[in-house]
Amino acid sequence: MVRFPDDFKIVCLHLPHRTDRLQNIERLKLQLGCVEVVEGFTPDTCPISPFIPGHHPIRHAVAQSKVKALSVALHSDKEYILFLEDDCLLIDEGCKRIQYTMDVTPDFDMIYAGWYQQPKDETIISSTHCLLMRREVAEAFIEGADNRDLICRALEFESETATGGSSDIMWSMMASDNNYKVVLIDPPVAWQRGGPSDNYKGANRPYIQVYTG
């Protein structure tokens, strides 16, 4: 089975009370090799919220959980960070296809391994459940996670579009603000168990779709 080279740091975000996902984490470890599991926050254990109107404690806990996982990843000296959520399902050829995508788009900043299109209007819905990024992208998200302007913009977008997951919308806005090159693997190689959970509408994003099938 193909695994990532040594210049990758792989972290998997896990909520301790979701013991039903432990078996899936073990599967990811078998597929990917060295995966560091990072325990996320619940609203009760999360650091103090910035108290922005509409910034729900659960949304804040999600964003801060990702900050925690990325901070752990940055303690390494690796150039690339693969961020996973504990319900991520990666196909057996996932590593190979992600590495192929890196080869054909060497100037990427972020690579989404999981996404789908809404049947109704074909809007692209991408997800952070399997997201590869350069170190500087992780640093930028950590810096932006408590940025009042960015949070308010994400909440406004969420309200206008009836889209859930303001922390994921922040990824989109951060990518646009920083002119990141964002790549979607087409077809996707990662899914979330039971369907998407932390998704956002990828309208007006500079996607570069890479077919790897």
Q: What is the pTM of this model?
A: 0.85
CATH code of the domain covering residue 147:
3.90.550
3-class SS of residue 62: helix
Range of the domain at 26: 8-211
Q: Judge whether 98 and 189 are in contact, CB under 8 Å.
A: yes
8-23, pLDDT tens digit by residue?
899 999 988 888 899 9
Q: Is 51 among the domain residues?
A: yes
- Per the structure, how many domains does the chain have? 1
176-200, pLDDT tens digit by residue?
889 999 998 988 888 876 544 433 3
* Res 135 pLDDT > 80: yes
* Pick from 8, 71, 7, 9: nearest CA to 39: 71
Q: Is 39 among the domain residues?
A: yes
Looking at this protein, which amino acid is placed at residue 97?
Answer: R
Q: Is 207 among the domain residues?
A: yes
Q: Is 3 among the domain residues?
A: no
